[in-house]
């Protein structure tokens, strides 16, 4: 007997694909992007459907992997389509050759055409390739940032479903001081990958930097209820966002924000799975302890948190709140450079 959850998931995925097809037919840039979001969600639900099966036949697994790949091809996301194609090839080995060949023949030409198109487009983007080879954005000269943004805009016109490229667009806009562009690019990445904790975490801090105070508060408010179950990245960036917004708040509101930030840091440190994350959260806790006590945080908090090497790079007379916030803002690993490899 087929589990009811499996059937419901497949039905939901099918409806999303139908809606996406209608949006693609409209042809406008916004409609195409919305279709990409729908197709990414359909791919996710397709995977959930298979995971709902107590035992998954090999043919069913192959068919599901092919469907995921197709969703990402149609969803203009060649990097994710390539990841799904790897799963297709692994699933193929468990199915008899004749059946597998027939199943792959329906998707393989579309996937390969998308892959070649993407490879040519990336190869024709020298500034993006230079960023990939350097593995970082920091330190780029303003003309290089401007050129990379132009190339990336052209790539995203053709592949608007590539969440990792929207993340890169956010980072470049941030480097250029373009708050509106940074926020819009990061939001597109989040819509395409709503379960990516890195995107959610950074959106909290970017909201405090890029949005008017009321809009930033609305965004933070929408995340508060999830903090009880959020990962350490989200807790850390939420705490830093509250500290950022507290700087322009009244005295009473400032203390309330620091208290919420401390609670988030406390929650995050209990869930930290790496020593680096634990130390960064501890530094944030110590910083908030000083602020709540009415004292100006000093470089000592870095030493006390086990971040002596970081303290050694702090400029003389640095504002520790600014220094720590900026460092942690840059701390999250960038997913963008792997994609063009």
The per-residue pLDDT for range 46-86, each reduced to its tens digit, is 999 888 888 889 999 999 999 999 999 999 999 999 999 99
- Shared domain for 306 and 249, answered yes or no, is yes
- Shared domain for 160 and 243, answered yes or no, is no
- Shared domain for 160 and 116, answered yes or no, is no
What's the pLDDT tens digit per position in 293-303?
Answer: 999 999 999 99
Contact 170, 189 (CB under 8 A): yes
- Shared domain for 76 and 150, answered yes or no, is no
**189 belongs to a structural domain:** no
- Shared domain for 157 and 226, answered yes or no, is no
Residue range of the domain that includes 27: 4-120
pLDDT above 90: residue 329 = no
**221 belongs to a structural domain:** yes
- The number of domains in the chain is 3
- Shared domain for 94 and 80, answered yes or no, is yes
Which residues, in sequence order, are CB contacts of 142 under 8 Å at separation 6+?
176
Which residues, in sequence order, are CB contacts of 328 under 8 Å at separation 6+?
236, 237, 240, 280, 284
Alpha-carbon distance of 31 to 34, in angstroms, equals 5
Q: What pLDDT score was predicted for residue 336?
A: 45
**187 belongs to a structural domain:** no
Contact 265, 227 (CB under 8 A): no
Q: What pLDDT score was predicted for residue 117?
A: 97
């Amino acid at each position: 007997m087929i589990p009811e959850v499996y059937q419901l998931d497949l039905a939901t995925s099918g409806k999303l694909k139908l809606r996406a097809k209608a949006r693609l037919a409209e042809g406008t840039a916004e409609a195409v992007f919305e279709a990409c979001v729908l197709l990414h969600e359909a791919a996710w639900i397709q995977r959930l459907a298979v995971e709902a099966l107590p035992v998954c036949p090999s043919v069913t697994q192959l068919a599901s992997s092919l469907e995921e790949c197709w969703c990402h091809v149609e969803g203009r996301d060649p990097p994710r389509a390539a990841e799904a194609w790897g799963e297709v090839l692994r699933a193929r080995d468990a199915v008899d050759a004749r059946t597998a060949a027939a199943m792959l023949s329906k998707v393989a030409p579309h996937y390969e055409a998308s892959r070649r198109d993407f490879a040519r487009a990336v190869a024709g983007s020298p500034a993006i390739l230079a960023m990939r080879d350097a593995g970082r954005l920091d330190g780029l000269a303003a003309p290089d940032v401007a050129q990379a943004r132009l190339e990336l805009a052209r790539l995203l016109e053709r592949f608007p479903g590539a969440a990792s490229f929207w993340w890169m667009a956010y980072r470049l806009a941030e480097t250029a001081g373009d708050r509106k562009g940074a926020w819009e690019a990061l939001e597109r990445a989040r819509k395409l990958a709503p379960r990516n904790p890195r995107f959610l975490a950074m959106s909290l801090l970017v909201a405090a930097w890029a949005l008017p105070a009321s809009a930033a508060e609305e965004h933070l408010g929408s995340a508060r209820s999830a903090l009880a179950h959020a990962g350490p990245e989200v807790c850390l960036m939420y705490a830093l966002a509250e500290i950022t917004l507290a700087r322009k708040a009244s005295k009473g509101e400032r203390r309330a924000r620091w208290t919420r930030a401390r609670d988030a840091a406390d929650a995050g440190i209990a869930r930290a799975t790496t020593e680096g994350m634990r130390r960064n959260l501890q530094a944030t806790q110590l910083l908030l302890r000083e602020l709540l006590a009415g004292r100006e945080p000093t470089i000592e908090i870095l030493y006390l948190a086990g971040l002596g090497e970081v303290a050694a790079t702090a400029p003389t007379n640095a504002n520790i709140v600014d220094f720590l916030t900026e460092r942690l803002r840059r701390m999250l690993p960038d997913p963008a450079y792997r994609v063009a490899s």
